[in-house]
Amino acid sequence: MLRTILLGPPGAGKGTQAVKIVEKYGIPHISTGDIFRENIKNGTELGKKAQEYMNRGELVPDELVVEIATDRLLKDDCKEGFLLDGFPRTVFQAEKLDEFLQAHGQKLDVVIDIEVEKQELLTRLTGRRVCRKCGASYHIVNIPPKKEGICDICGGELFQRDDDTVETVENRIEVYKAQTMPLVDYYKKAGNLAEIDGSGDLDRVFADIVKALGE
Ligand code: ADP
Ligand code: ADP
Ligand code: ZN
């Protein structure tokens, strides 16, 4: 049983570490960004609403996000725990999550905050490539696929996200500072924050996360 959150700026490595965490602990990976991208791909109403915000590098309005996140947390596979990646991103969302957990007699075990300096975030995000089929994340220099443009895991085509352009990335980092960074203090006060240095080798970062989560 493990209930945890991945906090950190865009490009910190949340998605990359999430894949390793859910494999080790056997819990579902819940990424609100992935849910929105899936809805955009399928042309749903939710996708249409979310897309305009995402393309500008802004946050999708709280009411929309809270609803999709709590709906997801109600599914059976979350009974034994979950890893939230990219949610909550505002104090309002964190408060709503607390209310939800309280109403269901649940508590967060640990909140993992992955920190990386801005210059490195820019390099990581503008070089990020994602698999169209399975969502796996690569980097053209840091973590290249074996065959250029092709996913190692499923053979799917790699592409660059619309919001990983230089201009949008700058804005997303500013939005993070203004709206999401207050959550670091929020969870520090709650007493369950683990601060992880996200720079450097991804296996070292993972080892630090496992230390914080417990074996
Ligand atoms: P990153 O990999 O940069 O951390 P995500 O895939 O988590 O990005 O999110 C991409 C975009 O989806 C965000 O820039 C935002 O527009 C939207 N989004 C995802 N999660 C949330 C959330 N919890 N609140 C508001 N917007 C969100
Ligand atoms: P987030 O979900 O926080 O936005 P990602 O996990 O998608 O971040 O990582 C952003 C980019 O940085 C991707 O291209 C990924 O391959 C790369 N990356 C992730 N972790 C590391 C690391 N430890 N060192 C170098 N590059 C990394
Ligand atoms: Zn793939």
- Per the CB < 8 A criterion, the answer to whether 213 and 112 are in contact is yes
58 DSSP assignment: P
- Residue 48, number of CB atoms within 10 A of its CB: 11
User: What is the tens place of the pLDDT at every residue in 172-183?
Assistant: 999 999 999 999
User: What is the tens place of the pLDDT at every residue in 101-143?
Assistant: 999 999 999 999 999 999 999 999 999 999 998 889 999 999 9
Query: Residue 86 CA: which ligand 2 atom is closest?
Result: 2
User: What is the tens place of the pLDDT at every residue in 135-171?
Assistant: 899 999 999 999 999 999 999 999 999 999 999 999 9
User: What is the tens place of the pLDDT at every residue in 45-70?
Assistant: 999 999 999 999 999 999 999 999 99
Which residues does ligand 2 sit against, CB inside 6 Å? 8, 10-16, 124, 127-128, 137-139, 142-143, 202, 205
For position 78, what pLDDT does the model report?
97
CA 92 to ligand 1 center in whole angstroms: 15
User: What is the tens place of the pLDDT at every residue in 23-42?
Assistant: 999 999 999 999 999 999 99
> Length of the chain in residues, anyone?
215
pTM (predicted TM-score): 0.96
Q: Is 53 in the pocket of ligand 1 (CB under 6 A)?
A: yes
For position 89, what pLDDT does the model report?
98
Give the closest ligand to the alpha carbon of residue 150: 3
What residues are labeled active site?
A: 14, 89, 128, 161, 172
* Residue closest to 116 by CA, chosen among 182, 191, 31, 173: 173
Q: Which of 5, 14, 32, 35 is the pocket-test mutation for ligand 1 (most atoms within 8 Å of CB)?
A: 32
- Contact residues for 75 (Cβ-Cβ < 8 A; gap 6+): 28
For position 2, what pLDDT does the model report?
96
